[in-house]
Amino acid sequence: MTLLSLHNVTKRFGGLTAVNGLTFDLAMGETVGLLGPNGSGKTTALNLISGYLPLSDGSITLSGDAIGTLPPERIAHRGVARTFQLVRALPSLSVGENVLAALAFRKSPLWGQQAEAQIEALLADVGLSGRASQPADSLTYIDLKRMELARALASDPQLLLLDEWLAGLNPTELRAGIDLITSLRQRGITILLVEHVMDAIRALCSRCVVMNAGTKIADGPTSEVLADREVIRAYLGDEHA
Amino acid sequence: MMKLVFALAALAALALVPAFAGPYPLGLGIGILGYGVLATAWAMFSGPTRYISLATVAFFGLGAYTVAVLADMLPYPLVLLVAAFVGLVVALIVGLATLRLAGIYFVIFTFGLTELVRQLVTYYEVNVTRTLGRYVFLPLGPEHIYWQLLALLAATLAIAFWVSRARIGLALRVIGDDPVVASHLGIRITRTKLTLFSISCVIMTLAGAIQAPRWTYIEPSIVFNPTTSFLVVIMALLGGPNRLFGPLLGAVPLFLLFEWLSANFPNHYSIILGLLFIAIVFVLPNGVLAAGDSLWSRLTRREARP
Ligand SMILES: Nc1ncnc2c1ncn2[C@@H]1O[C@H](COP(=O)(O)OP(=O)(O)OP(=O)(O)O)[C@@H](O)[C@H]1O
Ligand SMILES: [Mg+2]
pLDDT at A232: 80
Domain annotation covers residue A84: no
Q: Give B82's pLDDT tier (boundaries 50, 70, 90).
A: very high
Contact call for B173 and A88, based on CB within 8 A: no
Torsion angles phi and psi, residue A52, rounded to 5: -65, -40
Over 50: is that where the pLDDT of B302 sits? no
Q: In the listed set A151, A167, A188, which residue is the last one of a domain according to the structure?
A: A151
Q: How far is CA B14 from the centre of its chain?
A: 20
Over 90: is that where the pLDDT of A208 sits? yes
Q: Give B293's pLDDT tier (boundaries 50, 70, 90).
A: low
Mean pLDDT, residues A197-223: 92
Strands A159-163 and A190-194: parallel
The reply to whether A16 and A124 lie within a common domain is no
Map out the domains of chain B as residue ranges.
Answer: 17-224
The reply to whether A161 and A146 lie within a common domain is no
CA trace torsion B188, B190, B194, B196 (10° rounding): 40
Q: What is the CATH number of the domain that holds A21?
A: 3.40.50.300
The reply to whether A75 and A101 lie within a common domain is no
Mean pLDDT, residues A45-67: 95
Cα–Cα distance, B193 to B11 (Å, whole number): 30
Averaged pLDDT score across all residues of chain B: 87
Cβ of A108 below 6 Å from ligand 1: no
The reply to whether A28 and A125 lie within a common domain is no
Domain annotation covers residue A235: yes
- Percent with pLDDT over 90 in chain B: 48
Judging contacts by C-beta atoms under 8 Å, the chain A residues touching residue B182 are 101
Mean pLDDT, residues B244-253: 91
Q: In the listed set A151, A168, A191, which residue is the last one of a domain according to the structure?
A: A151
pLDDT at B215: 85
Judging contacts by C-beta atoms under 8 Å, the chain A residues touching residue B177 are 90-93
Strands B134-135 and A2-13: unpaired
Q: In the listed set A124, A151, A178, which residue is the last one of a domain according to the structure?
A: A151
Domain that holds residue A27: 2-79+157-240
- Picking from A3, A11, A4, the residue whose alpha carbon sits closest to that of residue A211 is A11
Q: Give A180's pLDDT tier (boundaries 50, 70, 90).
A: very high
The reply to whether A7 and A69 lie within a common domain is yes
Domain annotation covers residue A236: yes
Torsion angles phi and psi, residue A114, rounded to 5: -55, -40
Q: Give B267's pLDDT tier (boundaries 50, 70, 90).
A: confident
Domain annotation covers residue A219: yes
Averaged pLDDT score across all residues of chain A: 92
Q: How many CA atoms lie within 13 A of A71 on its CB side?
A: 12
Lowest-pLDDT range, A128-142, A218-232, B74-88? A218-232
**Does B27 or B129 have the greater pLDDT score?**
B27
pLDDT at B28: 92
pLDDT tens-digit readout, A85-114: 999 999 999 999 999 999 999 999 999 899
CA of A168 relative to ligand 1 center, distance in Å: 19
**Does B104 or A177 have the greater pLDDT score?**
A177
The reply to whether A70 and A173 lie within a common domain is yes
Cα–Cα distance, B53 to B105 (Å, whole number): 10
Q: Give B294's pLDDT tier (boundaries 50, 70, 90).
A: low
pLDDT at B91: 95
Contact call for B184 and A93, based on CB within 8 A: no
The complex scores an ipTM of: 0.94
CA of A40 relative to ligand 2 center, distance in Å: 8
Task: Let me know the angle formed at the C-alpha of A91 by A86 and A92, rounded to the nearest 5 degrees.
Answer: 165
pLDDT at B305: 39
Over 60: is that where the pLDDT of B304 sits? no
Domain annotation covers residue A60: yes
Q: Are B260 and B212 a contacting pair, CB within 8 Å?
A: no
Please give, one letter per residue, the 3-state secondary structure of chain B.
CHHHHHHHHHHHHHHCHHHHCCHHHHHHHHHHHHHHHHHHHHHHHHHHHCCCCCCHHHHHHHHHHHHHHHCCCCCHHHHHHHHHHHHHHHHHHHHHHHCCCCHHHHHHHHHHHHHHHHHHHHHHHHHHHCCCCEECCCCCCHHHHHHHHHHHHHHHHHHHHHHHHCHHHHHHHHHHHCHHHHHHCCCCHHHHHHHHHHHHHHHHHHHHHHHHHHHCEECHHHHCCHHHHHHHHHHHHHHCCCCCCHHHHHHHHHHHHHHHHHHHCCCCHHHHHHHHHHHHHHHCCCCHHHHHHHHHHHHHHHHHCC
Interface contacts (A, B; CB < 8 Å): 67
Cα–Cα distance, B50 to B56 (Å, whole number): 15
The reply to whether A69 and A163 lie within a common domain is yes
- Picking from A238, A240, A209, A207, the residue whose alpha carbon sits closest to that of residue A223 is A207
The reply to whether A194 and A215 lie within a common domain is yes
Cα–Cα distance, A32 to A218 (Å, whole number): 13
- Picking from A226, A150, A157, the residue whose alpha carbon sits closest to that of residue A185 is A157
Cα–Cα distance, B42 to B52 (Å, whole number): 9
Mean pLDDT, residues A146-151: 96
Cβ of A36 below 6 Å from ligand 1: yes
Minimal C-alpha gap between B32 and chain A (Å): 30
Cβ of A43 below 6 Å from ligand 1: yes
A207-212 β-sheet, strand order? A80-82, A159-163, A190-194, A31-35, A207-212, A215-221
Rg for chain A, CA atoms, rounded: 18
| Nearest beta carbon to residue A101 from set B174, B180, B188 | B174
Lowest-pLDDT range, A33-47, A134-148, B79-93, B137-151? B137-151
CB contact B167 to A (< 8 Å): yes
* Chain B CA closest to residue A47: B184
The reply to whether A143 and A232 lie within a common domain is no
The reply to whether A66 and A179 lie within a common domain is yes
Domain count, chain A: 2
Over 90: is that where the pLDDT of B52 sits? no
The reply to whether A67 and A179 lie within a common domain is yes
